Structure 1
Amino acid sequence: PAVLERRPLIIKISNAPPVVRPQSGLSYADLVFEHYAEGGWTRFSALFYSQGASHIGSVRSARLIDLELPRMYDALLVFSGASNGVIELIRRSPIYPYNVISPQFGYGEPYFVRFPREGLAFEHTLFTDSDLLWQWATEREVNRPPRFSTPGMAFRATPPEDGAPASVATLEYARTDVMWRYDPLTGRYLRWTDGVPHTDALTGEQLAFENVIVLSAYHEEIDILPEIFFGVEKSLEIRLWGEGPVTLLRDGQAFEGHWHREGERDMLSFTDMNGDPLLLKPGRTFFQIIRAGFEPLVIQP
């Protein structure tokens, strides 16, 4: 299809404080990564490829994890800004300058537009439009099919045979509670956040994904470029390289396995406990990235 001839977009989307919900456009993303930002709050990196939306956001600032994700998926990175340290690392990375679009690099309207709302802080009012972002990429001759370096995830319509029943899965980040409940009518998992159905402001419908992957990775607060910033610039490093444990939720079942990533341009790939490909359901995937050993996943059959 023609839509696969364009670059994926990774857009930073707010998830805290709760007043920013419901966000706009998450239900149109192919992949969503929920990760710690700071202060115990989480943030989303949402990848749009097979479809887009005219109102996506609110758009927030980039984190260290956003140096990894665009290289995995050969995507354009879309964000509101970043700390001095993260901006300096972006400037030094292969994605700069042609594969980043942000007001911090001089791009404003029509790509980023403010929609003020009473009771909503200024930093939560920035939104974007995927068609305009793809138009921006075309004008700069960077809107092309992505060049994936590895096959990445494997899919099959029928689930593996060794799953455990998983109708409900709950996860507690430091300041955000997440619940996924399987809907056998649609074959997807529905999301609740802090006890409330998590909807998309564009559709009014609850977020629903074919796959939920709970991925455990090492987290560490690091000093960014201490020779320049002298310990003032700190940020949370989420090590999405090497390997670690995962739990895949699909078709009302849970499957244990491992994630793998070798080179910086490699996509995440997944194997079961026997080392064979861990097969996802065709459709969209939500990643819950958690700290190794800290956020227990509770599954109810």
Structure 2
Amino acid sequence: MKKWAVAATAALLLLSGCSDKNKANGPGPKEPVKEVEKVDQEEVTKELPYHYPLTGVGSETKTDGRAVAVMVNNHPKARPQSGLNKADIVYELLAEGDVTRFLAVFQSEKPENIGPVRSARDYYIELAKGLDALFIAHGYSEEAKKMLEAGYLDNLNGMVYDGTLFKRSSDRQAPHNSYITYENVLKGATEKKYSMEQSPPEFKFLSEDESKSVTGDDAKSVMVSYSTGSTFDSIYEFDDSIGKYKRYADGVETIDLVTKEPILLDNLFIIETTHEVINNVGHKKIDLKSGGSGYLLQMGKVIEVEWKNDNGLIVPVRNGEVVPFVQGKTWVNVIPTNPGLQSSVSFNVN
């Protein structure tokens, strides 16, 4: 019994020592407890209740509101421009000679400042009319002036509001220095009693899942050339890391003048149509009604399409069906089919 008592005493002392040691050193490290986050599958797949008509992008809030279409200068002295990074759609067409101009259409985003604003041509007016947009320009051709003065569509023009709604920048020389703020667009619309509530007609869009399986030939970049020189060459390069196209003009990336934000695009739509020079000034007649051949680039892929004018909207068509756009921003290049006009489209698969 004595031996057992000694043994028991020793055991107690040993346990007491271990206990004291644990108290001194604190409790040992514990295995981290992994919390399993519960995902509401219904919430993940739930579609947003609203979407923007010109981009297809979803929204928690209503997306009503009239589109605003602005004539934007693309002369080298007008670059970089202001506000183009906020445009839902930009149409690029020839004005005089080899010089292109933009019709920048805003609805989902409202830039603080837009410009330089340039003069109107009748075919840009037709595009704005198809979108039920408020048309903004500074100046006009003879044919465009007749259309605007006849009330063909609601418009604000710098020939009337130079120095009031339209402001001149001291950093550039005329005619490359006329700008208008979005605040002044709304102010002018109120003054003219133009309604800004009616939303534009909707384009057709792929769902986000459908966009991941876009098919076509590989085309990581495309160059659209309007002349033998490079001044009005547009190069679009697909960035795999962000799934969007970046734009370059004459080798320089297209960015916003103030914010330096790049133009990022989801759809490139290139259409061919007839161009006719109608006077000695070089004004053109461009057919935007008859349809023709084209290319549609999305997610680094390209397909050949036809284009048609669907109640004023220029849309891509294949096998008789409208081809949906990827949700996001779109740039439309209109190029001549005429052999005498130096335009071309070239693709690079790398």
How many angstroms apart in 1 are the aligned matches of 2:235 and 2:289?
A: 27
Structure 1 distance, partners of 2:321, 2:310, is 17
What is the identity, as a one-letter code, of the residue corresponding to 2:70?
I
Shift in Å at residue 275 of structure 1? Answer: 2.1
Alpha-carbon distance in structure 1 between the residues aligned to 2:316 and 2:286: 18
1:9 maps to: 68
Q: Which residue of 176, 200, 214 maps to 2:256?
A: 200
Q: Give 2:270's aligned amino acid.
A: V
Report the counterpart of residue 14 of structure 2 in structure 1: none
Higher helix share: 2
**Sequence identity (%):** 26
* 1:67 counterpart SS class: helix
**RMSD between aligned alpha carbons?**
2.2
How far apart are the structure 2 equivalents of 1:146 and 1:131?
18
Q: 2:285 aligns with which of 223, 237, 240?
A: 237
1:285 paired residue number: 330
Q: Which structure is higher in RCO with an 8 Å CA cutoff and minimum separation 6?
A: 1
Which residue of the other structure, out of 99, 112, 136, is the alignment partner of 1:54? Answer: 112
What SS is found at the alignment partner of 1:86?
A: helix
How far apart, in 2, do the equivalents of 1:89 and 1:237 lie? 14
Aligned-partner SS, 1:89: helix
CA shift, 1:235, in A, is 2.2
State the match for 1:111 in structure 2: 165
Q: Which amino acid is the alignment partner of residue 6 of structure 1? A: G
Q: Is the 1:242–1:262 contact (alpha carbons within 8 Å) kept by the matching residues of 2?
A: no
Choose the corresponding residue for 1:131, options 163, 172, 183. Answer: 183
1:170 alignment partner in structure 2: 223
Match of 1:227 in 2: none
Counterpart code for 2:83:
G
Which runs of structure 2 are paired with 1:199-278 in the superposition (5 Å)?
199-222=255-278, 235-261=283-309, 263=311, 266-272=312-318, 274-278=319-323
What one-letter code is carried by the residue in structure 2 that aligns with 1:191? Answer: R
> What does the per-residue CA deviation read over 1:129-176, in whole Å, with 9 as the maximum and x for residues that have no partner?
11321232244432333365x654443332465411110111111251
* Displacement after TM superposition at 1:253 (Å): 0.5
Q: 2:122, 2:143 within 8 Å by CA — same for their partners in 1?
A: no
1:226-276 deviation digits (Å, cap 9, x = unpaired): xxxxxx77621111102111211110111211111154xx3122212x222
Q: Work out the CA distance in 2 between the residues paired with 1:90 and 1:7.
A: 19
As a proportion of its length, which structure holds more strand?
A: 1
The structure that has the greater radius of gyration is: 2
Q: 1:3–1:15: structure 2 CA closer, same or farther, 3 Å change rule?
A: farther
Q: Does 1:156 align with 2:211?
A: no
Contact 2:273 2:287 in 1 (8 A): yes
For structure 1, the 5+ residue unaligned runs are: 224-231
Report the Cα offset of residue 85 of structure 1: 3.6
Q: 1:77 and 1:92, CA in 2 relative to 1: closer, same or farther beyond 3 A?
A: same
- Structure 2 gaps of 5+ residues are 1-58
Aligned partner of 1:237: which letter?
K
Distance (whole Å) between structure 2 residues aligned to residue 207 and residue 234 of structure 1: 30
Q: 1:44 to 1:56 in 2, by over 3 A?
A: same
**How far apart are the structure 2 equivalents of 1:214 and 1:268?**
11
State how far apart, in whole Å, the 2-side matches of 1:167 and 1:233 are.
38
8 Å Cα contact 2:214-2:299 kept in structure 1: no
Instruction: Please give the secondary structure, in 1, of the residue aligned with 2:313.
Output: coil
How many positions carry a matched residue from both structures? 282
Comparing 36-45 with 203-212, greater Cα deviation is found at 203-212
Classify 1:13/1:299 alpha carbon distance in 2 versus 1 (closer, same or farther; 3 Å): same
Change (3 A) 1:161 1:198: closer
Q: Which stretch shifts more, 171-180 or 71-80?
A: 171-180
SS at match of 2:291: strand
